Amino acid sequence: MSKLHALFQSGIDLDVEPSASHQEDQVTEAAAVKPGPSAENLWENQDGRKDFFIEKDGERFAGTHLIVDLWEAKGLDDLDYVEDTLRECVEAAGATLLHIHLHHFTPNDGISGVAVLAESHISIHSWPENGYAALDVFMCGAAEPHKAVEVLEARFKPSRIDVGEHRRGRGL
């Protein structure tokens, strides 16, 4: 991604329009959107609006939020590799990608960004000089966030991975 394009996406210099190829990418991504979560997770609330919740172990909640720490991980300074990994995470989890935005920092080459999903998001913040990355994987509906963690482990090859799980919106 060009520096100008990254600035545009972050809201800096809003007079600059994205390139035609970027606009085509957005259309392509939108056209590739898969159907949403399965019908068994479709709930109608008291206002008649349909929402996707999860029912598991007798509990109803909005989504599963995984907090993931990778230690002694590889590839954390490679923007294209990180983007490809996030795309693979989305696919493995059965989620729907809406947009990815990543920023490459200097001088340490860390990367911060987010994959925005119809089912929520995956975010990453990396410190390649320490081999460390902090990720959030939050998904609702029929998406399977733990499958994204399997991809993170396979791609970044950490010596250690810590995963915490929180059920968001319990009791909805």
pLDDT of residue 56: 81
Q: What is the CA radius of gyration of the chain?
A: 17
Average pLDDT of 31-59? 56
Cα 163 to chain centroid, rounded = 15
The CATH classification of domain 33-168, taken from the options 3.90.420.10, 3.60.90.10, 1.10.3720.10, 3.40.50.10800? 3.60.90.10
Element (H, E) at 114: strand 111-117
pTM exceeds 0.85, yes or no: no
Is 89 an annotated catalytic residue?
Answer: no
Element (H, E) at 26: helix 20-31
- Of 32, 35, 155, 147, the closest CA to residue 92 belongs to 147
Cβ-based neighbours of 113, under 8 Å, separated by 6 or more = 82, 86, 100, 101, 102, 103, 123, 124
Average pLDDT, the chain: 79
Catalytic member of 65, 89, 126, 140 = 140
The domain ranges of the chain are 33-168
pLDDT tens sequence across 26-38: 333 333 334 344 4
Element (H, E) at 168: strand 160-168
* Cis check: omega of the bond before 37, within 30 degrees of 0: no
Catalytic member of 120, 123, 159, 166 = 120
- Two structure tokens written together for 86: 């996030």
Average pLDDT of 49-54? 67
Quick check: 16 and 4 in contact, CB under 8 A? yes
